[in-house]
Structure 1
Amino acid sequence: MATRSLRGVHDVVAFIDSRTGIRGRAAIIWWLALGGLFLDAFSNSALSAGLGPMTRDMSLTAGQVALLTSMASWVALVFNPIGGWLADRFGRIPPLIAAKVLALAGALIAAFAPTFELVVAGRFFVGAAYGIDFAIAMALLAEFTPARFKSRLNTWQGIWYVAVSTNLLLAIGFYNMNVGDAIWRYAVGAAGVVALILLILQATLLVESPTWLARKERLEKAAESMTRIYKEQFVAAPESERVAVVNLANKGIRNVALIFRGTYLPRTILAATVQMGQSIQYFAVGWYLPIIALALFGEGDFVLATLGTLLFNVFGIIGGFLSPVIAGKLGLRRASAFGFGAVFVMLLILGFFFDSMPLWLAFIVPSLFILFHSSGPGANGKSLSTLSFRSELRAGANGIIGAIGSLGAALGLVVFPLLREQLGLGPTFLILSLVPLAAFIICSVIKWEPTRATVSPDEEVDAPQFASVTR
């Protein structure tokens, strides 16, 4: 069997890019990373379907609802960059495993919490897990994805809506078990079960990213990872044959400054805009769809409102899994711009006609909101930040831009219940429509498109071709 010699990160990237698909152990790692994102969505939406019953169960005020629902996002805002730094400093796998431990702890604390304060404490751990996991999982996905399949990173958005829809189905099941207003505890507990399963699988099957190892000039370890993943023999080239890493960013957390300078600055602005814009519009509207559905279809029918929300999220699944195709044809930036524009129109319709819409339109407009969101900016914020930076900057950049997204999520989660209580749903939608409008304008002005770039973020100079020798 031919033994492949690794002279540097260029050889690792060239081999991965030469693959005609994501198969074998690489596919297992790819889908397990997506499984972590499933858990993030599942944990984040665990309170959503049961928010009405929980509000009654714990006699929550609007301020307490805002604090509880936004807690995970506020915490993720801090832990996004921490997770990115950990991944760029110590590798992708250890922080991913730690995130599952935190998610499990958070689920158990919240599910069995006797007081509001302990539920908030549980959501703190969930937010820490979410913040750490998302920045790293997207970086890991990028480093196992051949260049021709870059747009497949958007698959995470479809996974997100599958998780949310699973929560809704479970909520209906728990409701039929006659658990009363404690239904939210069962939903949070189910997130703990998912966290435990993923903890076991990821600890057993994940392999460290060879691209990250090679960028850190740890070629012997990179060769070991490549051998385990691709079932071919890889070795590190002799020292005299190795190609040094160009512009290696090895200053730890100070690498963050690089994404705000020179070539990277417009990429950072674009990715941050899409990330924050989609976070605000989703967490101010999409996350609260069970509450919106109750207002649309009747406060007294939990099952009908939940089924309506489930229908809305089916459009999210469709849009999420279509987003790789759309991004492949239009590019991440243009797909985001079109999505923001369409979401702006949907929010205007909801704002002006919320109280007078016929039932069929009350189903169609929120469904289209979710479809346009998930097929465009909802998926693209994470993918833009992941594909715009080279390997040793990638997780850190994801952490910073993810923190900006978490800020948007927290603002959306806080603003919606407060505006709704003060102004009503119609004016709330009109105010929120300004967010996708502003994002549409910025996406139209900045022209960076990573899926059309001729140079990979891992390759700041022309790379030599992959070397293969027989030993």
Structure 2
Amino acid sequence: MEVRADTPQASAPTGAADVRSSSPGIARRLRAMTVIATLGGLLFGYDTGVISGALPFMTRPVTEGGLGLNPVTEGIVASSLVLGAAFGAVFGGRLSDRYGRKRAILGLALLFFTGALGTGLAPDTPTMVTFRFLLGLAVGGASATVPVFIAELAPAEMRGRLVTQNELMIVIGQLLAYSSNAVLAHTAEDGGIWRWMLALSVIPAVLLWCGMLFVPESPRWLAVHGRLDEAARILARIRDRDALDAELAEIRGRAAADDRETGAGWRNLRTPWIRRLVTLGFALAVLTQLTGVNSIMYFAPTILLDTGLGTQAALTATIANGVVAVLAVSTGMWLLGRVGRRPMLLAGQIGVTVSLVLIAVCFMALPASSLRSYLVLAFMLTFLLFMQGCVATVFWLMLSEIFPMRLRGFAMGTAVFGTWIANFTVTLVFPPLMHAIGGAVFLIFGAVNLATFVYYVRTVPETGGRSMEALEAHFRRRFAA
């Protein structure tokens, strides 16, 4: 498969600098809707990050406030959310296609609330695993639904800025988890403090549900389901008058064409251009995880302990990871207004690959010492700058843009399923690989990322500067055969 950039129209990137092209009132309205919807991203980040601080307390005996977890049950508790997220992405995408983006997110908010409360009150390990899996369904559903919902609300010139707000909220959620864990662990002696760590996410879950009551449905979803008058009324609230008619005509034209075609599902993959786009999205999802990002986000203290760093310093570095991730995504959002998606992704992939090789060299060439510890930490943070600032930011944005309107939820869910399965695989194999070959494992990640760079050069298109309908028409023409 080869998907090349169409340079004449792809040269106008979208992002923070483009927000000024919409009137101030409409821009504020869209930003408010985005903040509400991306509370789902905040919950995604918090619920994936909070377990790192809760597990040490959960391993304590029941008489000391813990759950008495052993290494096996500890791994099951940690991975149950990731496994649930894989299935949540698939079913969440399908449900959002059938019942609407807004209703899907409202349902996810209830699932987030139930999962957070259930894990905070869990009396035993089976109950904990059950509610962690439910939380995973919510996390996976949010990762497949929220970016699509925002992309369908946003005009082309604001889409980059607004969709990447979700990635920013994910890393803010992780930072909040790391920080609240550290504060709670430092200020409370109670062995059951892990319950408060896990239950805190009920607050953003309630805010998400309440806020979504005031956010409109996606006008594109309404158009696909024949509710064109409602779509027009909603679009009139979030577009300048001089841009409204042209975009509404595009949406109506695309909806009319979709009426002549079959609904969303696996049978659509028989169509060559759809199959190529879904394959590209799935590849992006899997390869983004094979960067090794979660080996660093989940196991940073373990990695640094292996370099010879002390325990307290290693735990503090986890917070540094969260801070750098937030700064990197903020920088990436700024860059999207000045640089196209494709150049950012390729530059990020180069930076990630070089950082991984340098981490491996530090492990293999230097003896255990403070110098090796701080060099590894520095290159880990460099890795996160390129990963979160370029690769992850562009990845979520492009996934929300490239799929056709009538099966956007299904295709997004399928791709994000690949994200979570790859995440689960990396999380599972990294500890034994690290134990067996040490820092040389980062050379393996480096080789995978070099191959990924070559693949991206050959396949990844530029998607900035076009409406979603224009992108769909382009892909239909180019890959119809």
TM superposition score category, shorter chain reference: 0.7 to 0.9
Tell me which residue corresponds to 2:351: 342
Please identify, of 156-165 and 347-356, the stretch whose mean Cα deviation from structure 2 is larger: 347-356
CA drift of 1:283 comes to 2.0
The question of whether the paired residues in 1 share the 8 Å contact of 2:87 and 2:140 is answered with: yes
Tell me which residue corresponds to 1:6: none
Structure 1 residue 451 and structure 2 residue 454: aligned?
no
Specify the code of the residue in structure 2 equivalent to 1:405.
Answer: T
Specify the code of the residue in structure 2 equivalent to 1:385.
Answer: L
Tell me which residue corresponds to 2:294: 283
The question of whether the paired residues in 2 share the 8 Å contact of 1:93 and 1:208 is answered with: yes
Report 1:360-379 matches (<5 A).
Answer: 360-379=374-393
CA drift of 1:308 comes to 1.5
Q: How many residue pairs were aligned?
A: 435
* TM-score normalised per structure 2: 0.81
Specify the code of the residue in structure 1 equivalent to 2:374.
Answer: W
Tell me which residue corresponds to 2:407: 393
Structure 1 residue 44 and structure 2 residue 48: aligned?
yes
Q: Distance in 2 between matches of 1:434 and 1:260?
A: 33
CA drift of 1:230 comes to 6.3
Q: CA RMSD in A?
A: 3.1
Deviations 1:260-282 (A, max 9, x none): 74334443333322321222422
Q: Which residue, 292, 298, 305 being the options, matches 2:303?
A: 292
Report 1:186-265 matches (<5 A).
Answer: 186-202=196-212, 204-226=213-235, 245-248=256-259, 251-254=262-265, 256-258=266-268, 261-265=271-275
Specify the code of the residue in structure 2 equivalent to 1:199.
Answer: W
SS at 1:136 equivalent: helix
Q: Distance in 2 between matches of 1:151 and 1:385?
A: 12
Q: Distance in 2 between matches of 1:352 and 1:260?
A: 46
Specify the code of the residue in structure 2 equivalent to 1:189.
Answer: A
Q: Relative to structure 1, is the Cα distance of residues 144 and 321 closer, same or farther in structure 2, using a 3 angstrom cutoff?
A: same
Tell me which residue corresponds to 1:28: 32
SS at 1:408 equivalent: helix
Q: Distance in 2 between matches of 1:58 and 1:430?
A: 37
Q: Which residue, 389, 399, 416 being the options, matches 1:402?
A: 416
Residue segments in structure 1 that go unaligned for 5+ positions in a row: 1-15, 236-241, 462-471
CA drift of 1:115 comes to 2.1
1 or 2, which has the higher helix percentage?
A: 2
Q: Relative to structure 1, is the Cα distance of residues 115 and 435 closer, same or farther in structure 2, using a 3 angstrom cutoff?
A: farther
Tell me which residue corresponds to 1:239: none
CA drift of 1:321 comes to 1.4
Please identify, of 357-366 and 92-101, the stretch whose mean Cα deviation from structure 2 is larger: 357-366
The question of whether the paired residues in 2 share the 8 Å contact of 1:293 and 1:306 is answered with: no
CA drift of 1:296 comes to 5.0
Q: Distance in 2 between matches of 1:18 and 1:220?
A: 26
Deviations 1:231-254 (A, max 9, x none): 99x99xxxxxx7562244764442
The question of whether the paired residues in 2 share the 8 Å contact of 1:285 and 1:416 is answered with: no
Tell me which residue corresponds to 1:238: none
CA drift of 1:111 comes to 1.6
Deviations 1:282-341 (A, max 9, x none): 22222222443455575542xx43332112222211211122333444432332232222
Residue segments in structure 2 that go unaligned for 5+ positions in a row: 1-18, 61-65, 246-251, 475-481
Tell me which residue corresponds to 1:114: 123
Q: Relative to structure 1, is the Cα distance of residues 61 and 390 closer, same or farther in structure 2, using a 3 angstrom cutoff?
A: same
CA drift of 1:147 comes to 0.8
CA drift of 1:58 comes to 4.5
CA drift of 1:35 comes to 1.5
The question of whether the paired residues in 1 share the 8 Å contact of 2:101 and 2:218 is answered with: yes
Tell me which residue corresponds to 1:467: none
SS at 2:122 equivalent: coil
Q: Distance in 1 between matches of 2:301 and 2:90?
A: 31
The question of whether the paired residues in 2 share the 8 Å contact of 1:275 and 1:377 is answered with: no
Q: Relative to structure 1, is the Cα distance of residues 229 and 63 closer, same or farther in structure 2, using a 3 angstrom cutoff?
A: same
Structure 1 residue 128 and structure 2 residue 142: aligned?
no
Q: Distance in 2 between matches of 1:150 and 1:229?
A: 13
Q: Distance in 2 between matches of 1:373 and 1:176?
A: 31
* TM-score normalised per structure 1: 0.83
Deviations 1:101-134 (A, max 9, x none): 1111111121222322222111111111012122
CA drift of 1:37 comes to 0.8
Q: Relative to structure 1, is the Cα distance of residues 35 and 138 closer, same or farther in structure 2, using a 3 angstrom cutoff?
A: same
Structure 1 residue 423 and structure 2 residue 436: aligned?
yes
Specify the code of the residue in structure 1 equivalent to 2:199.
Answer: G
Q: Relative to structure 1, is the Cα distance of residues 408 and 226 closer, same or farther in structure 2, using a 3 angstrom cutoff?
A: same
Specify the code of the residue in structure 2 equivalent to 1:408.
Answer: A
The question of whether the paired residues in 2 share the 8 Å contact of 1:168 and 1:310 is answered with: yes
Give the % identical residues.
Answer: 23
Q: Distance in 2 between matches of 1:361 and 1:120?
A: 37
The question of whether the paired residues in 2 share the 8 Å contact of 1:96 and 1:136 is answered with: yes
Q: Distance in 2 between matches of 1:454 and 1:166?
A: 34
Please identify, of 425-434 and 157-166, the stretch whose mean Cα deviation from structure 2 is larger: 425-434
Please identify, of 360-369 and 82-91, the stretch whose mean Cα deviation from structure 2 is larger: 360-369
CA drift of 1:449 comes to 1.7
Q: Distance in 2 between matches of 1:171 and 1:338?
A: 34
The question of whether the paired residues in 2 share the 8 Å contact of 1:319 and 1:374 is answered with: yes
Tell me which residue corresponds to 1:19: 22
The question of whether the paired residues in 1 share the 8 Å contact of 2:167 and 2:396 is answered with: no
The question of whether the paired residues in 1 share the 8 Å contact of 2:401 and 2:468 is answered with: no
Please identify, of 148-157 and 425-434, the stretch whose mean Cα deviation from structure 2 is larger: 425-434
CA drift of 1:38 comes to 0.9
Q: Relative to structure 1, is the Cα distance of residues 111 and 454 closer, same or farther in structure 2, using a 3 angstrom cutoff?
A: closer
The question of whether the paired residues in 2 share the 8 Å contact of 1:83 and 1:132 is answered with: yes
Q: Relative to structure 1, is the Cα distance of residues 264 and 100 closer, same or farther in structure 2, using a 3 angstrom cutoff?
A: same
SS at 1:162 equivalent: helix
The question of whether the paired residues in 1 share the 8 Å contact of 2:50 and 2:181 is answered with: no
Tell me which residue corresponds to 1:270: 280
Tell me which residue corresponds to 2:79: 70
